[in-house]
Amino acid sequence: MSQDESESSVGITWKFRQVELGRILSAYRKLRGEDRRLAESRMLSWLDAHKAEAGWDELRRIAPAGKLAKLESPGLADEILTLPNIEPLTCAYEIPELLLGSLLSKPQRHVYVAHRPEVDFERIDKKIGCYCGEETRYSIPPTRLSDAENIAIVYHELEAGGHSLSHNHPGDEILYVDEGLVEVRMEDTGLWVRLDKGSFIHFEAGQLHSAWNCSDKTAKMFIIRYLQLSSGTRLDVLREVASLKPSKRLIKTILEDIRCSVWTPLEQQEYLQPDQVCDRRGLGRFLELLCSERFLGDGHGGLTYNDLHERSETKQYDYSRSKLARLHYGEAPVKKEQLLELADIYRVAPILFYNFLFPAFRYAIAVQDKDEKGMRLIPREFGSSDGVVYKVPHRRLAYSDIAIATATLSPRESTPENRHPGYELLKPLEGEVAVKFGTTGHPPITRGEYALFCSDSRHRVCNFGEAPARVLIIRFLE
Ligand SMILES: [Fe+2]
Ligand SMILES: [Fe+2]
């Protein structure tokens, strides 16, 4: 879409899925540790000041007398709320307009969506009429997967001297630099990272963050927010900490956190080429997801420790029910070779476990990707082959349910078929790839495009071309 078109479209009617809006507002308020009454008093002041204006009946219906409990309630019917603008909400919750802006992408009941941000994304900063920083443009996809409400994709461009508004929000963020030189500034930790084309950062988005263009050329960034509004490892940890009854699992998690914080050069080798799982908590949560009824869709309540134990015995492995429980709780050490046995027992591709070998750091991990120096090769026994070479970052973001990898596919090669909980995003870096679900194929996507799909259906990534293809793979484990 051209800039002229977008600039002429100021003024919109906001249509929200009430459930999504309620979750995002509630999560944002909790992230800031604010009591709902404070948001209610701001809402009341706003409504009092705008009594004469028409168009607020729906808001008054869902938030009578400024009461926001109904709006935030997760049990709401999935109805559409239409508002003339979002000022009462952004005032009440002091939430940046742009965070709600991503809800303007049309939800679609598909399992696969692909877009080319520079061509078919819609610019929203002008449309919303909000301040988002200097010399900056924000665009969103025209459509999104309706069930993937935790995943928001934004394309962000900064002219020379430009920067985004410093902001924070629940969950994780991945910022991939498509063009230019960008500095990501995280005010709370004082962590400033410069990223050039092809580099990316994965960080905890509760920290105040902003992006600054450091060159005299336009910078272009592909941004993924993974909001995890009502579930996820980080929320689980926070809930456990708040309960003040530290479980064994919480103590182990904290100890591992401390171990990463006091990193010494002596331990570096162990971290770079680990022979056992560093992120036990992350692995445990993933194992639980693999056993969930939602993933298995068996209608029988999912896999029990008994089921897993039986499978283990059949394969002549040594996993008792209590050992399996300890694995799920992140309490048992796991050697690298054991991951292959676990893949066999849980009936998934071993590559899905490989990320958990690496240590998890709390605030951010950056991959300066030019030569993939921050990446480690996945060995053959875990999934690489002559035709498909996988790599993963040698660090993980702590308490994150995102797994990142790259795959290089030789001409006419495909990955093995696999399935896993949640969603997968593909961003081709070289060449072109296509996603196939069984015999159903989708058109190839190339550099500058991306595809997002439900990964609990069996899928494979194919390179039908005559040139090698390299693709960034992001798995959202939910
Ligand atoms: Fe952000
Ligand atoms: Fe996959």
Q: How confident is the model at residue 127 (pLDDT cuts 50, 70, 90)?
A: confident
Q: Return d(Cα 124, Cα 322) in angstroms, integer.
A: 52
Distance 392 CA to ligand 2 centre (A): 14
Q: Which ligand is nearest to the CA of 102?
A: 1
Distance 98 CA to ligand 1 centre (A): 9
Cβ proximity of 394 and 322 under 8 Å: no
Q: Which ligand is nearest to the CA of 156?
A: 1
C-alpha 177, offset from chain centre = 16
Average pLDDT, the chain: 89
- In 348-410, the DSSP E strands lie at 360-361, 364-367, 375-377, 388-393, 396-397, 402-409
Q: Return d(Cα 466, Cα 460) in angstroms, integer.
A: 18
Q: Which of 95, 70, 66, 91 is nearest to 18 (CA)?
A: 70
Structural tokens at position 369: 């990707």
Inform me whether the pLDDT recorded for 454 exceeds 90.
Answer: yes
Distance 356 CA to ligand 2 centre (A): 16
Distance 309 CA to ligand 2 centre (A): 26
Inform me whether the pLDDT recorded for 293 exceeds 70.
Answer: yes
* pLDDT (0 to 100) of residue 59: 80
CA of 428: how far to CAs of 112, 120, 345, 434, in Å?
16, 17, 32, 10
Inform me whether the pLDDT recorded for 160 exceeds 60.
Answer: yes
Q: How confident is the model at residue 200 (pLDDT cuts 50, 70, 90)?
A: very high
Inform me whether the pLDDT recorded for 8 exceeds 60.
Answer: no
Q: Which ligand is nearest to the CA of 474?
A: 2
Inform me whether the pLDDT recorded for 7 exceeds 50.
Answer: no
Q: What is the pTM of this model?
A: 0.93
> Model confidence over 212-243: pLDDT tens digits?
999 999 999 999 999 998 889 988 888 888 88
> Model confidence over 28-61: pLDDT tens digits?
998 888 999 999 999 888 888 887 666 777 787 7
Spatial neighbors of 11 by CB under 8 A, at least 6 apart, are 127, 129
* pLDDT (0 to 100) of residue 270: 65
Q: Which ligand is nearest to the CA of 473?
A: 2
Q: Crossing angle of helices 280-291/248-261, nearest 10°? A: 140
Identify the bridge partners of residue 230 per DSSP, sorted by sequence position: none
Distance 427 CA to ligand 1 centre (A): 19
* pLDDT (0 to 100) of residue 74: 64
Domains of the chain: 1-95 (no CATH), 104-232 (2.60.120.10), 246-361 (1.10.260.40), 367-476 (2.60.120.10)
* pLDDT (0 to 100) of residue 368: 85
Distance 179 CA to ligand 2 centre (A): 27
> Model confidence over 131-150: pLDDT tens digits?
889 999 999 999 999 989 89
Q: Which ligand is nearest to the CA of 225?
A: 1
Distance 453 CA to ligand 2 centre (A): 9
